[in-house]
Each structure stands twice: as C-alpha cells, then as structure tokens.
Chains A and B, each alone.
Chain A
C-alpha cells in the first residue's frame, strides 16, 4: 500500500511482513540457480572477450597443454602414453573428448571449457562454504563478487591452463572436510578425499593439500573420537585421496621405467630449477624471507593488495572467533594450504616465480599467487558478516578497488603471458613453417619439450611433426635425420634442446642447410639433392 503525506512531503510504502518473508524464501530457494546463471554468463563473456582479444593462447604452457591433449588423439604416434610425465594428467585427459575437433584445439576451447566449468563450480563451492560457516547472504554475495570480478580469475578461466581446475578441486576438498568436521558424515569425508584426489592429478599443490588434509583428519579423529576411529578415518581418507598419486607413480614406472621420473627426469621441474640455479636466478632458494616476500607479492598482484590485506585481517578475526567451533576454524585454514606450499616450494628451490621489480625485470609464473583467491574472497565474505554494522563500508571499499582494477585493466596473469617469461612470441618461427611446409612432403623434426608453442602456432597437423613422443619416428630421425625429416627446428648450440643434442652427434645433419634464424629457434632444411631418399607417409 502506498500513501502520500503532504506534511512531510514523502511517500510511504507499506509491505506486509508475510509478503517479505515469502519473497525471502523464494530468493533463498532460487539463489543457487541465479548464481549459476550469472556465472555461466560471465564465464562465456570472458572467454569470448579473451578469444577475440587474442590473448587466450598467450601462455606458452596453454599451447603445450593443448598439444599434449591433441597428441593423444592425433599424430604419428597416438595413445595415452602421450600424456607424458612433465605435467599431471587430469587436465589433458579431460581435453580428450573435445580436442579431436580442430577448432576446439586451435582456439584453446578444449582446455578452456574445463577451466570455465571449474570457475562455475568454484563460485558455487565458495557460496556453499560461507553458507556452511553461517555467513549471511550479503557476506556470501560479497565473497562471490570478489572472486568472480577478479580479472586474473576471469582470464585464467578463459584459457587452457590448470589454475581454475586446481582452485575448484582444492576448495571443494577443503569444503567437504569442513563439512565433515561439522556433520561427522562419512560421505563428506569421502567427497573431500575424492576432490583432493582430483587435485593431486592436476598439480603438485594438491599433494601438499593431501598432507595438510590428512593431518586435519588425524587431528579431528584422534582428539575427538579416539585412536580406533582415527585409524578407520585415516585409512578411508588416505586410500581414496592418495590413489591418484599411487597411479601416477605406477604410470611413470610403466611408461618411463622409473616411478620418480616425473620428479627427477630430464623434463622435470627439478631439472628446470637446476638450470636456473646454475644461471644464478633462483634467488628464493634457501631464503625464507625472500620466498615469503615473492609469494606475498604474487598473491597481492593477483588478488589486489587491499583485498589481500582485508582477507588477511579476516583470517585473524576468524581464528579468534569463538562463535565458530575451534575444530572448524582449524579445518577452514586448509584454504591457506597453497600459501604454505608455494612459500616452501620457493624456499626449497622446487618452484620458480619472478615478480617484476622484486626478482629481476620480468614476470614468470606469477599466476601461482592466484591460488589464494578463493581464501581471500571467503575471509572477506566472513568479515562482511562479522562486522555487520560496517558492511556497507567493506562493500564500498572492495568495489572501489575492483572498479579501478577494471578501469586500469590490471591483470598480472595477462602481463606474465604477454611480456613476461611465461609467454613466448614464436610467431616468426611458426609463421615460416606455416608458409613453407604445407603442400610439400616431409616431416618437421622438433623437440616438443622445447618448442611445443611453435608446433601449436604453426597451424600444421600434429602428424607433420616428429618429436620425442613419436617413438620409432624420433629414434630413427635422430639417428638418420636426412631419411626422415625435411625440416629441423632447434636452438643451435643449446644442449637442453634434445634435437640439437641428437643432431650434434649424427653425420646426417650435414645434409641440411640453415634457412632461417629466429630468436627462439633456427630452421634447417634438407638440401634438394637429398630429397629423393626422404621417407614420408601422407597423413590427411
């Protein structure tokens, strides 16, 4: 009912309480559907934007991920063995159903679709997490908005990278663990173990979460239920959550003959870090303070300095909030596992991260800081609820910085890909291949470990390349290149390039002449007089 008062020059709208209550109930019921709809819209718009913008494939790693998936279904030697040992297999396995479609491979959609779904799932889990902590609706929306309006999140959900998938599985793992702490239902423990198992098959951050979560399961079961209960819970949890790791060891043993091949093999992170250390650029190794600084900067560049500080304040308030059960508070801190993991990884030299201005003049792997984005959003959502009297203030300040992040288009992950070391502009090499190879017979000999980005950007079918994963083709071509490869792409004089390493030991290489030299690689072509002896099987 609406009434107008001349005396106070105002109108008064009277709404019966039961109507408000009914509307509230409907909103509460339908809120998740609404959130999903908004997330789908945002996700699709972001993907489209970055696709048109041309940055969707800027990451060198994104192109490599797509190629790994593609090699499973297309190439001179296909099959699951193409999953390799450098990266954990789940993201590539998830690509298999779509990667065979050329346009999905070329546009990166095969990799992005899983990131987009993970974005959607992360948003829902984030909302549910705060619901679990009995945070008010406003707090949940604030957290959700902070997460989905993070430009770095929006970019990473639009590309074929593993971050969003990892964020989704890790957050879900911690969510069900906290839920298990509250409900004591074994199904929650199983769900937690399942998501943590998935995360262990995406990135090694998941392995650390498994240890942290294992400790939390032990803590709760032992101190609240006793030794017997602890044994049962631990066996159930670790069997399920650890199965992925066991399978990975087995895989490495079966394919490469060494269960620890992924850790110590020639393409492992360790091998990369050893080279960086030799070059004197692994400054974080054995320097805890610097490791902490580097990772904190990465977090702040990914999630905004103010929001990070606000989130940190939220963590402090949360720890001392007695209205939440102590054990639940402890379990929720599992969200911070990526922080401990990354600092330790930098300290022990297992990881490398460059922040411009702090460790040199370039970016590299700065996206690792994104792993704390859900935790920051959740703890800001929590303080919005906790300090309800100033929630408008929190909301205002958060959106003020978010607005400016959009106005200044501040996405460090894009800079890392475009101008940092995580991107590689191989357009010159790939452009040469694109121009000269089609229509001519012959394979291109190239190391996928060093030049996957070139393979991807060339636009040629995978079956035109002989690389380390092509079994006998590679073996034969590295012994007698002039019989198998018409072109050789390699970094001359770089022994880390396996093609160069092989060519420096074979006499067949004398049959080639250098036709072009580019910053990332040189191109050699077989001299015309040797073309007659070239082996080539036409692949449509």
Chain B
C-alpha cells in the first residue's frame, strides 16, 4: 500500500471510530437481559428502547428464536408485539420481514453475555450505519470527489439526517441502505462480471430485510443485467454480444431466496406468503385470543379484530397513486416529517445531478432511479408518515445517495465560501434536530392524529421535533450510555449539547479542510 492509500485507510479508520463512538453514545437501551414478561412493561416499551411496534416486532422474533427456539410467538411475546402482530394458522407470528431479526441474533447473544441483550441487538444497526458512512465515502471516491468532501458527506448522512435516529434503534433502514450502497459500490467500482453474483446475492438478501427493497434494487438489477449484453459497431456491422457468465450469475439469488421461502413456510405454512399480507392482531384478551383494541374507533367492525382471518390484504394494496400528492407533501414539506424541516441539507445533493448527468450518466441514471423509486413508492404508501416516527424514515436510502451528491457539490464548490457557509449553517441546524431525535425518542405522532390524541390525553400535543425538545427538557433521554453511567454526572440537555458540539466540531474541521485543500485534487 502506498502512502496515499495508507492515509486514506487511516482517515477511514478514524472516521469509523468517531462515528461508531457517537452512535454508541446515542444508542438507546437499558441494562439487563429482560425476559418475556418483563418486556411487557412501560420500562422496556413506551419509556424504554422498545417504544414502537417496528422495533418490538423485530426484537420479539429475535427473542423467540433465541430463547424459545420458535418462529411462533409465546403469549407474552405476542402481547408485547401488538398492535403489529401477525396471525397465521391460529398462531401468533411476526408481521415483519424476518431478515433484520436474523442478522442481529449474534448481537443479541453477545449482548446477553455482557448482561445487556437489548443493547447488543441494537448495536449491529449502528455498525451498519457506520458501514453506510464508509460506503458513501468510497462511492464518492469513485466520482473523484475530494477526500474531505466525501468524509463530510458520510458525516452528513449519519448525523444530519433522520438516519441518525434510526441508527440507534432496531429498524431495517440502515441494513437496506447498506445493501443498496454496497451493490452500488461494487457495480461502479468493478467493471468485470465477477461482481455480479455478489450483487445478485445482495439484491436477493434485501427482500427478506424489507419487501419494498425489491423496487429500490431494481435500477441496480437492470444495470447489472445489462452488463451481460453489449452492442458495438465494427466496420460495416453491429455486434451484439451476450455474455452467459453474467446471465448464469443470476443463479446466485437462489440461496437467499431459499432461506426466505423456508422462513415463510415454517412461520406461515406457505413459502410464498409475505408477512406484510398476514392478518393483523391489534390486541389480545385475557384468554389469549385476538380482540377489539380499545382505541379502534368505530370505523371497523368487531369481527375484523376478533377473527383476523377475515382480513383481506394484498402485497401492493397499500400503495395507491391517489396518495401521491399528500405523500410528496408529507415527505418534503410537512412540519411533522418533511425533509425541509428535518434535514434541509440533503437538498444540496440535488445540485450534483447536472454534473453527474454530464460526466457520469450511468451513475446518475442508477442513483436518481433509486432515489426516484424510493420517493415515489413511499409517496403512494397509505401511511407516508411511517406511523409514529422521527422525520421521514422511509427516505433514508435517498438521504444516503443524496449525501454522495453533496460530496460532489462540495468538491465542485470547494473554494466557494458562500456555498460552504450555507452548507455549514444547514449542517449545524440538521445535526441539532437529528441529535435530538436520536437520544430522545421516535414517538412523534403525525399531525393528523394530534387532535384525537389531545382529546384523549387532555394536554397539548406537539408533532414536530419540538416534542423531542420538550421531552429532553423534562429529563427524557434514552441513550444507553447516559442512563447507565452518566445520569448522575450530567443533565440530559448538557449531554445533548455535548454530542451536538462534538459532531459539529468534527464536521467544521472537515469542512475547513474541504475549503483549504479542495481544489488540489481537481473535482469531479
């Protein structure tokens, strides 16, 4: 390895350590190895790290697999998982794609060994988040972006977008993003056919992680498939070549798919049954049967809840083009989830598109394709808010790719003080907002639910990050490190400011490097 390579590697190691350090300081958790009955308490649920059904559902499957050696949930675990509990063949099962739970099992076991199984389960997600930061840097390097600009892009993605809040808990987004970025990196870094089997495996693996990944991976899949074909002009003829090596590499999707079908068959009795299409159980009565939840309202009849088999769901039923106007508004401009309020800095990535179009059109095509699919699909989704959530969590893969775009923009305008100042201001704001979400809670209701919530609780309910700020000021903080070791030595608000200062401090130093060293390498 030459000196330049060594410096790059050193920077990557420092970057990874810093990012993992901050994520570790923010990761949510409680000390202890909770048993099924303990999990059903406010301490672990609403007031603790397993606050919402997505992380509960995935953690429940991990717990069930490790502790009960079963795909079917025991009654306490089923109660713990409601209101997003699956129902198949008269048994309670997971409603979530199984990939995440399987991937974090080693984390659960290691965490259990150290007396903190829940934190051990969450930490692999932080690890994936760091890997995503590294991949952003590596992809930006393919575009000849300046090294500092690439590092800045990684920091922006990890700490200046809602990706931060979802890098410290048990959600699928960082793993999905990792699979997208790694496929992206492999395809654009290596031109030969040998990467194709790996890419196909990554694409196939993404489906058990989260079913919509099938669509986000599609631009990568098409790009990979086209590599098996070529068309060139040769004197007076066109030569169309079909490379069978590339086509045969498709076989490699079999392994992840076999696992997926096996899981479906064991859990639901049908290899082709998607968990998302299972009947849902919202509540369980004293006898352990599905029942009518207290907050169900009057819009659905009782049989819908007490006999879940009557529910009819389809894999694409929740995606409606009619929702798109509202969906786009929610993701981009709404105060409860909009990017403009939560991570305005990522908009800067859009300005890279003209450069990419001119110089890296294939790259632009795949990158914008994934972003487009991501935005369009979740704009059509019946619940664009993502339930109770912090920011627009569904767009995390887009934040990652737009961060690559930011690296390009920073490289192009490295010596433009005005633009760097704008980046700095937006960075500070975005870090401030997202650190708030990371160390407090993702339990932010959509604006549409606030009125009924106020009627229910009798108190004013906030639905923006203001809710997180109030929570923090009231002493609410869910960081494992803080609640375990620092509670007596520092107050939550100071802890928040310390984290924000550390991130902004490092970000500022990187940005200064961009300014002073920017043009030396020549941008993009």
Contacts and interface: CB of A to CB of B under 8 A. Distances in A.
Query: In the complex, which of the residues B233, B365, B368 has the most CB atoms of chain A within 10 Å of its own CB atom?
Result: B365
A306 B357 contact: no
A270 to B, nearest CB: 31
B365 A390 contact: yes
Given A9-B245, A300-B325, A389-B361, 17 more contacts: A11-B244, A14-B238, A15-B237, A297-B325, A304-B324, A305-B379, A306-B324, A393-B219, A397-B373, A400-B215, A401-B324, A401-B376, A404-B321, A408-B320, A408-B322, A410-B320, A410-B321
A13 B240 contact: yes
Interface string A134-145: 000000000000
A17 B231 CA distance: 13
B243 interface: yes
A404 B238 contact: no
B243 A393 contact: no
The interface size bin for chain A is 20 to 34
Contacts of A410: 320-322
B418 interface: no
Contacts of B357: 387, 389-390
Contacts of A393: 219, 364-365, 368-369, 372
Contacts of A18: 236
Q: Report, as a range, how many residues of chain B touch the other chain.
A: 35 or more
A397 B321 CA distance: 13
Interface in A285-319: 297, 300-301, 304-306
Interface in B184-233: 215, 218-219, 222, 233
A279 interface: no
Interface string A321-361: 00000000000000000000000000000000000000000
A352 B304 CA distance: 40
A485 to B, nearest CB: 45
B237 A14 contact: yes
Contacts of B320: 404, 408, 410
Interface in A463-493: none
Contacts of A16: 236-237
A392 B380 contact: no
Contacts of B321: 304-305, 401, 404-405, 408, 410
A112 B377 CA distance: 35
B350 to A, nearest CB: 12
B474 interface: no
A79 interface: no
Contacts of B245: 8-10
Task: Give the 6 A-B CB pairs with smallest separation, nearest first.
Answer: A389-B361, A408-B320, A305-B324, A10-B243, A405-B321, A410-B321
Contacts, number: 106
Chain A binding surface, main DSSP class: helix
A17 B240 CA distance: 12
A12 B376 contact: no
B319 interface: yes
A407 interface: yes
B25 interface: no
A407 B215 CA distance: 15
B490 interface: no
B316 interface: yes
B365 A12 contact: no
Contact of B236 (A11, A17, A304): A17
A397 B244 contact: no
Contacts of B328: 305
A158 to B, nearest CB: 20
Contacts of B234: 14
Contact of B241 (A12, A392, A405): A12
A397 B239 contact: no
A20 interface: yes
Contact of B361 (A8, A390, A407): A390
A13 B319 CA distance: 42
Contact of A11 (B222, B242, B317, B373): B242
A455 B151 CA distance: 73
Contacts of B324: 300, 304-306, 401
Nearest to A392: B365
A450 to B, nearest CB: 32
B321 to A, nearest CB: 4
B368 A390 contact: yes
6 contacts: A390-B357, A397-B369, A397-B376, A400-B373, A404-B320, A404-B321
Given A300-B325, A390-B365, A393-B368, A20 B376 contact: no
Interface of A: 8-18, 20, 297, 300-301, 304-306, 387, 389-390, 392-393, 396-397, 400-401, 404-405, 407-408, 410, 412
Contacts of A14: 234, 237-240
Nearest to A412: B322
Residue among B233, B241, B243, B325 facing the most chain A CB atoms (10 A cut-off):
B325
Nearest to B367: A393
A224 B368 CA distance: 43
A410 B321 CA distance: 6
A412 B322 CA distance: 8
Contacts of B222: 392, 396
B401 to A, nearest CB: 13
Interface string B413-435: 00000000000000000000000
Given A400-B373, A410-B321, A10 B242 contact: yes
B212 to A, nearest CB: 12
B112 to A, nearest CB: 43
Given A15-B237, A407-B316, A396 B325 contact: no
Contacts of B238: 14-15, 17, 20
A392 to B, nearest CB: 6
Nearest to A305: B324
Nearest to B218: A396
A348 B245 CA distance: 66
A410 B324 CA distance: 11
A181 to B, nearest CB: 30
B35 to A, nearest CB: 44
A525 to B, nearest CB: 41
A404 B316 contact: yes
Nearest to B356: A390
Contacts of B239: 12-15
B237 A397 contact: no
A332 to B, nearest CB: 24
Contacts of A396: 218-219, 222, 369
A389 B219 CA distance: 15
Nearest to A408: B320
Interface string B469-496: 0000000000000000000000000000
Contacts of A306: 324, 376, 379
A390 to B, nearest CB: 5
A404 B240 contact: no
Nearest to A391: B365
A404 to B, nearest CB: 5
Nearest to A406: B321
Nearest to B366: A393
A304 B323 CA distance: 10
Interface in B294-320: 316-317, 319-320
